[in-house]
Amino acid sequence: MMNEKDIAAIRQTQRAVEAAAHAVIIYIKNTAEPTAEAAHALIDKILAEHNCESPEGHIVAAGTQSSEPHAVGSGTLEKDVPIIIDIYPRSKITGYFADMTRTICVGTPSSELQKMYDQVLLAQELAISMIKPGVRCLEIQQAVEDVFTKAGYITSGKGTEFAFAEGFVHGVGHGVGKNVHEEPRIGRNSKDILQEGDVITIEPGLYYKHIGGVRLEDMVLVTSSGGENLTHFAKHLKVT
């Protein structure tokens, strides 16, 4: 549970995340042959300008690479495919982390990719709407899984890092503070209950080997009456 000073620190780190995300999207959009390596370097540069560091790295993964949720990403960032950008730095001043993910496509996304994106956004909006003190994290996880199942997205296969290889393979979210992943956890086996002052991520995603992945992640503060989204960054799949 965070106090006002803690929350202010997380807000500050989140602004650095958004500055870095903005810079890397502009780079990808305006460069003839952008690469993940250059994107990672740019993220580090912008974060450093905001007195932040990335002790656990960041993700810029395109195409089929993005079907692995924790793939760092390498090589050319091609057009017409999903590009997952996940930035989760720590402030050098306060020690607090922030976390945000966006999925973009430079060019024309396939109808299959657009449908995936729309369902992930729908699931995220539902999960955020459920946030308030006293809510069981498992209920949020189950609601998101139901959205995907009803839309025809199957979670299957044996994964390596995750239990499943394809579909919605991970939990909806986690707490953020002096660690980038901490309680409360929103997942299939969670027994946690949301409390006022918690700062959590909401990050549903879908991953298929032949398409790639889509993930959207915001940080949300649990307030006395609901949830306050601390993330102020637009969500658009197609970047032109």
Count of other CB atoms within 10 angstroms of residue 129? 13
The count of domains in the chain is: 1
Tens-digit pLDDT profile for residues 86-104:
999 999 999 999 999 999 9
Helix (H, G, I), strand (E, B) or coil at 227: strand
The token pair that represents 225 in the structure block:
């009456």
Average pLDDT (16-40) is: 98
Q: What is the pTM of this model?
A: 0.97
Asked if pLDDT for residue 2 goes beyond 90, the answer is no
Measured between alpha carbons, how far is 60 from 209 in angstroms, rounded to an integer?
17
Q: Which domain holds residue 219?
A: 4-239
Q: If you ran DSSP here, which 8-state letter would residue 51 be given? A: T
Average pLDDT (136-140) is: 98
Tens-digit pLDDT profile for residues 39-62:
999 999 999 999 999 999 999 999
Question: CATH no. for residue 221?
Answer: 3.90.230.10
